[in-house]
Amino acid sequence: MDAEPAPDPTTSRTSHDVVVAFLDALQALDVDAASALMAPDISYRNVPFPAVRGPRATVAVLRSFLVLAKGFEVEMLAIAADGDTVLTERIDTFVNGPVRVGFWVCGTFEVRDGRITVWRDRFDTADLTVAIVRGLLLAPVRMLGGRRA
């Protein structure tokens, strides 16, 4: 007697669950797991930059972030779902040794059939610039065992 195939985990999740799993995979630096949650026609836009389309292009962007950052953290400030649309307000932090660059991000995700079809993140470039300067200035303090700021 043949065993029944395992259910596809992406189809039994809510849109909220898919987005949380996606961000969890990114925090674990598991780009393959994150890619598995992308629809073949995903559109990713990190506003103000141009959109990229498809999992391959999206993964290439994610991997380019990991060239500079060896760690990634998400602090979820708020998350709300309305059907297939999920809105997130978060602090994303890129980490490389003692350098921590954390900045505010507002994300919009659209999910269809358990996969992300649209991912748009918005951030303030001035806020990001301040975060980079702050991260670089505080790195020596962290190296000497100072507070995690």
Catalytic residues: 92, 121
In degrees, to the nearest 5, what angle opens at C-alpha 119 toward C-alphas 118 and 120?
A: 115
Span 15-143 CATH architecture: Roll (3.10)
What pTM was computed for the model? 0.83
Domain residue limits, the chain: 15-143
- How do the pLDDT tens digits run along the chain, 149 residues long? 445 444 455 457 899 999 999 999 999 999 999 999 999 999 999 988 899 999 999 999 999 988 888 899 999 999 999 999 999 999 999 998 888 889 999 999 999 999 999 999 999 888 887 777 777 778 776 777 755 55
Instruction: Note the maximum CA span of the chain.
Output: 64
